[in-house]
Chain A
Amino acid sequence: DSGVTQTPKHLITATGQRVTLRCSPRSGDLSVYWYQQSLDQGLQFLIQYYNGEERAKGNILERFSAQQFPDLHSELNLSSLELGDSALYFCASNRAGGSTGELFFGEGSRLTVL
């Protein structure tokens, strides 16, 4: 158990819809990262938040947005969903300035868009 909690574990929805994925980081971790893993792909970095503020952006579509709340949990909002958005979405966290660079991953949220 990494200590990172993601909900929901599975989600099935239709094209054009909007969903919200939730992540609670490990206790004490200030940074939250979102990654997307599509079929046969590696983990693609989407976005990072640090202590409530956006810190870095990766390959995140404009239809996607995220935020980190004062209690440090984070939400990833996916809108106008397309079939190609079907993927595993992972949240990870670590402490600020972690020297090992180790990220702690949640179990992921599997999104299926029909």
Chain B
Amino acid sequence: DQQVKQNSPSLSVQEGRISILNCDYTNSMFDYFLWYKKYPAEGPTFLISISSIKDKNEDGRFTVFLNKSAKHLSLHIVPSQPGDSAVYFCAASGAPGQDSGAGSYQLTFGKGTKLSVIP
């Protein structure tokens, strides 16, 4: 049972255009959502997050939108750059510390979307 779904395994976008990566979740207890970026031969690195009390969070070229009623979130990258080419993972959890005690933060990850930005 996949609680976090990224239905597009891959996405190709021209440099300078917008990249939109989508993520759906099924667990209504999820309260906090994150995007991680992963380059080959490296570990995932945190990109941006959003809590359920917001519907949008922006950080430079990266914006995450959350539609709680639809259980859907998306990551927008504008403008896309070749260096953005990587695998993007969507992740979700309950509110920090509520999963199983202080210091606990279990993230449920999607399978990832491979973004290719074409120069």
Interface residues of A (CB under 8 A from B): 2, 4, 30-31, 33, 35, 40-45, 48, 50-51, 55-56, 58, 90, 92, 94-108
Taking a contact as CB atoms under 8 Å apart, the answer to whether B96 and A101 are in contact is yes
Interface residue from A55, A56, A107 paired with B42 (Cβ < 8 Å): A107
Taking a contact as CB atoms under 8 Å apart, the answer to whether B43 and A105 are in contact is yes
- Interface membership of B62, Cβ < 8 A: no
- Interface membership of B78, Cβ < 8 A: no
Interface of A is mostly: loop
* Assembled-state Cα–Cα distance A98/B32 (Å): 13
Contacts of B32 in A (CB 8 A): 101
**Closest 4 A-B residue pairs measured CB to CB?**
A105-B43, A96-B103, A42-B109, A42-B111
Interface residues of B (CB under 8 A from A): 4, 6, 32, 34, 36, 41-46, 49, 89, 93, 96-97, 99-112
* Assembled-state Cα–Cα distance A107/B40 (Å): 10
Interface residue from B6, B43, B106 paired with A45 (Cβ < 8 Å): B106
- The closest CB in chain B to the CB of A102 belongs to B46
* Assembled-state Cα–Cα distance A100/B44 (Å): 16
Taking a contact as CB atoms under 8 Å apart, the answer to whether B43 and A108 are in contact is yes
Taking a contact as CB atoms under 8 Å apart, the answer to whether A107 and B43 are in contact is yes
Extra contacts, 16 of them, besides A4-B43, A42-B111 (Cβ < 8 A), are: A30-B103, A31-B103, A33-B106, A48-B106, A50-B101, A56-B99, A56-B104, A90-B43, A90-B44, A92-B43, A96-B102, A100-B46, A102-B34, A102-B49, A107-B42, A107-B43
Say yes or no: A2-B103 contact (C-beta < 8 A), given A42-B112, A97-B97: no
